[in-house]
Chain A
Amino acid sequence: MPRLSVWFIRAALVALAAGAAVGSLLLAAKASPAGGRLGYLVPLHAELLLIGWVVNLAFGVAYWILPKHAAGRERGHPAPAWAAFVLLNSGVAAAAFAAAAGAAPLLLAGRAAQLLALACFAAHAWSRIKPFGRGRAVRAN
């Protein structure tokens, strides 16, 4: 497993544990009169699990298992994928905090960072979405 996939997947596991902890708090409180007061944590729970867990995991596994290039660096230049990792996790942290605190400008910044992360990862992965065994050198011919 390449080092970047390790970072993506470990970030996903951290987000899963944190999101599950928040979700457990919400669920345990639901049956008590205090349950309604924790409603502000629902967006934080959703952000951690839907973006932090699922998207980090998908990017990490995709970087690992998508077909490699036949010539040059086997997974292409890693810079866009590393940028995606930094942007995605900064975006999740910002949006999760902003969603819980109700800070609209920070939420927008977090969402923008997530969008840029997706663009960076798509730029990296696009040429690797191809049949196994077909490389850039073959395609050039």
Chain B
Amino acid sequence: MPTLSRWLIRTGLGCCVAAFLLGVALAVPALRAAHPALAAAWPAYIHLLVVGWITQLIMGVAYWMFPRVQRGTSGGESAGWAAYATINLGLLCRVIGEPMVGLPAGAVSAWLLPLSAALQLTGILTFVVVIWPRVRSR
């Protein structure tokens, strides 16, 4: 398994653990009442699962298993690493910034959320460009 796939899959597992922990915290009414920011973390919980876990797992397996364009080539490895970095940095910005919306510290989210959006979109589009030529008939 390529190094990039190992990082994608392990980070995906980390996101899954983080999402499940957040899911437990969201299910405790006393915690939600004590920390208003937690109540706003529901979309972050969903995106940790769908982007951080499921999509990243798919990316890791696709990068590993899809046929290489030319045997022995890197298969867009540096672009793949860029996709990995931007998606995870974007997700981190979201997890930090989203619960701040509407709170006194909300000014931070005014730039953190657009940054997160730009990073994640860049990462996804980069992954699509990297993997597209490898989706082909024999």
| Minimal beta-carbon separation of A68 from chain B (angstroms) | 14
Q: Give the number of chain B interface residues (Cβ < 8 Å).
A: 31
A31-B137 contact given A24-B117, A49-B50, CB 8 Å threshold = no
**A residues near B124, Cβ cutoff 8 Å:** 16-17, 20
Q: Are B94 and A27 in contact (CB under 8 A)?
A: yes
User: What separation, in Å, do the CA atoms of A128 and B87 have in the docked complex?
Assistant: 35
**A residues near B112, Cβ cutoff 8 Å:** 31
A3, A30, A49: most-surrounded residue (chain B CB, <10 A): A30
Q: Are B101 and A2 in contact (CB under 8 A)?
A: no
Q: Give the number of chain A interface residues (Cβ < 8 Å).
A: 24
Q: Are A28 and B118 in contact (CB under 8 A)?
A: yes
A2-B117 contact given A10-B132, A27-B94, A32-B110, CB 8 Å threshold = no
Q: Are B101 and A31 in contact (CB under 8 A)?
A: yes
Binding site for B on A (CB under 8 A): 1-3, 6, 9-10, 13, 16-17, 20-21, 23-25, 27-28, 30-32, 49-50, 53-54, 57
